Each structure stands twice: as C-alpha cells, then as structure tokens.
Amino acid sequence: MTTTQVRNDGFLRFALKLDGVASGGLGVLALLINAPLGLPRGLVLGLGAFLVVYGVGVFALGVKPIRPLVGVVVIGNFVWVLDSFLTAFAGWFPVTGLGVFLIVAQAVAVFGFIVLQVIGLRRSA
C-alpha cells in the first residue's frame, strides 16, 4: 500500500491541528465536568476518552498529512455531525436544553472543521 503525503499543505495542517486541539479539549472537558446534559454519564465519559485519543491522532496527522487518512477524518467528522443532530433531536435521550445547545454548538464547530479540511485538501492537490 502506498500513501500519498500531501504537498502545499499549510492550510490543511492548520485545519487538522485545530480540529485535534478542539477535539482533545472537548474530550478533557467531558471527562472533568459533570454538566446536566441529559445524557448517560458513562456515554459522556466514553466520548470524552475517545475525543482525547482522537484529538491526539488528528493533531499528529496535522503534522504530516496523508491524503487517505485526511479523507477518513473528514468522513468521520461528517458522521459525527449527523449523529450529534440525531442525539440532540431524535429523542434517544432526555437531553436538556443545555445539552441540546452544547451538542448543536459542537456539531456546528465540527462542520466548520470539515469545511476547512476540504478546502485544505483542495488547495494541496
């Protein structure tokens, strides 16, 4: 298997590193803060741990972007956005008003990362 390292990738590196820092930071907050979101605490802790690991991985990818892996991050972010809206509005959990606000806010931020990453991929092509 060959990997395609991206060239002219300054913007893409920035987008990935920003995503990594934000994801890791949100993960740490989820692990440390017990806000009344209406989600099971175990789910929030699991997502927090995942986000810390994910954030480190995405930040590392931002150091040396590899096109196929960046594509996986973009697709994963898109799935995260869709799942976030479903979690907020599908009635799976008794999400509080604060929970809906925070879920939607982070989903909008993740969508912003998608846009930045796609722009970065196009610029580096």
Please write the tens of the pLDDT for every residue from 55-73.
999 999 999 999 999 999 9
Q: Give residue 49's pLDDT.
A: 97
Residue percentage of the chain with pLDDT more than 70: 94
Q: Give residue 35's pLDDT.
A: 86
Q: Give residue 37's pLDDT.
A: 92
Q: Give residue 34's pLDDT.
A: 87
The tokens of 122 are what?
């196009």
pLDDT at 7 over 70: no
User: For residue 1, what pLDDT band results from cuts at 50, 70 and 90?
Assistant: low
d(CA 16, CA 68): 14
d(CA 46, CA 71): 24
Higher pLDDT, 34 or 119: 119
Which amino acid belongs to residue 94? Answer: P
Helix, strand, or coil here: 66? strand
The tokens of 18 are what?
């920003």
For the stretch 20-38, pLDDT in tens is: 999 999 999 999 998 899 9
